[in-house]
Structure 1
Amino acid sequence: MNPTVVLVHGAMHTPWIFDPLRERLTARGIASYAVQLPSSAPDSAAARGLTDDVAVLRAAVESVDGPVVLAAHSYGGVPATWVAAEAAQVAGLVHIAAFALQAGTSMLEWMGGDFPPTWIRSADGLAVKAGDAEQSIFSGVDPTLTAEAVERLNWQGMRAFTEKLGAAPADVPLTYIVATEDPALPPAVQEQWAERAAHSVRIPSGHSPHLSHTAEVTDAVAQAVARAVTGG
């Protein structure tokens, strides 16, 4: 049985962001499912944290009949890493310009204790949102698609950044997709994480290669699925 690809979006996103990638995966006979993380919500007061994301993602993985390859973008790499460490169904992990934190570390600690100056804090202090998403998150993406993506951005719960990663897998093969022109997550940092991965791919894109270079990301995810089948 081919693994199902469970897609994990980044901060402030919704599963919609993976529609172009899912269309290409379907065309190649690969089943996929995109999870809505509760840390991302239209209402800042409703935006939850990392542990909530992990619970929802774990339940999504357990609902799949058969093995799973987790493919995560940006912040999504944090809950995906935790679930990969604890769910026996996970046969592979793909990080798409994603955070590969060490267990015991929080996003905010990794960020040096503060958010980028262009980010906006909600009035209730419970969430944040990127104020420069066109340049930081969606650089290199088609302008029409960028406009829709920005319009769909949610608030991201503060606890997604302050809660620490509880576990990281020791034996789940990781494929790291380095976005070599990423203005949001430094490519040099991505390269360091890619050095620890079992496999790595480099794509000349900004922070959202699944939107700007969908074919290349599809190839990388499909290869991770094939390796999960063969154990390679």
Structure 2
Amino acid sequence: MTPTVVFVHGAMHTPWIFDPLRERLTARGIASRAVQLPSSNPDSAATQGLTEDVEVVRAAVAAADGPVVLAAHSYGGVPATWAAAEADQVTELVYIAAFALEPGTSMIEWMGGDFPPTWLHSPDGLAVKAGDAEESIFSGVDPVVAAEAVKRLNWQGMRAFTEKLAAAPSDLPATYVVATEDPALPPAVQEQWAAQAAHSLRVPSGHSPHLSHPDEVATVLAEAVARAATEG
């Protein structure tokens, strides 16, 4: 059975961010779905945390009819890693300039205990948002698409950053897409994570290769789907 690709977006995002990529997968005959993480919400008071995000990813995997290639961007790598540790349906994890943290680590610990100075804090203290998203998250993206993406950004719940990753798969194949011109997640760090993956690709992209280089990323995902179909 051909696997379904399940997409997990990054902090502050919505599933819309994967539309260009999903269109390319559809053209290749590959089914996909994209979750909405509850840590990302336009209402700061309604934002939730990492544990709720994991539940949503786990449910999306379980709802797929057959095997799943789990593809995550940025922060989405954290709940995707945790969910994949508990889901036999997942055949491969694809990190798209995503965080591949070690269990027992939180995002805020990885960030050195504080948020970037350009980030905004909600008045209620429950959430944050990147204040320089066009330069940090969407660098190298078509300006019209980048402007639309910035408009669609939500608040991101604090617990997404403070809760620790509880589990990671021990023997699940992974692919890492390194964004070599990423101003948000250092390419040198991405290279370290890519060195531990079974497959990797380098794209001359900023932090959002799924928007700036969707064809290349779609090919990576199609290869992951093909591997799973062959092994299945």
| TM-score band, normalised by shorter chain | over 0.9
2:216 maps to what in 1?
Answer: 216
1:68 maps to what in 2?
Answer: 68
CA distance in 2, matches of 1:78, 1:93: 11
Offset of residue 172 of structure 1: 1.1
Gaps in structure 2 of 5+ consecutive residues: none
What is the RMSD of the two structures over their aligned residues, measured on CA atoms?
0.8
SS of the aligned residue for 2:175 comes to strand
Which aligned segments of 4 or more residues in structure 1 are displaced greater than 4 angstroms?
Answer: none
2:30 maps to what in 1?
Answer: 30
1:131 maps to what in 2?
Answer: 131
5 Å-filtered alignment, 1:18-167, equals: 18-167=18-167
Q: How many residues align?
A: 232
- The amino acid that maps onto 1:204 is P
1:8 maps to what in 2?
Answer: 8
Offset of residue 228 of structure 1: 1.4
Task: Give the structure-2-normalised TM-score.
Answer: 0.99
Task: Give the structure-1-normalised TM-score.
Answer: 0.99
SS of the aligned residue for 1:109 comes to helix
SS of the aligned residue for 1:71 comes to strand
CA distance in 2, matches of 1:85, 1:217: 23
Gaps in structure 1 of 5+ consecutive residues: none
SS of the aligned residue for 1:70 comes to strand
1:200 maps to what in 2?
Answer: 200
CA distance in 2, matches of 1:13, 1:23: 18
Offset of residue 227 of structure 1: 1.2
What's the CA shift string for 1:54-90, capped at 9, x where partnerless? Answer: 0111011111110000000000000000011001110
CA distance in 2, matches of 1:65, 1:26: 16
Between 1:28-37 and 1:220-229, the stretch displaced more is 220-229
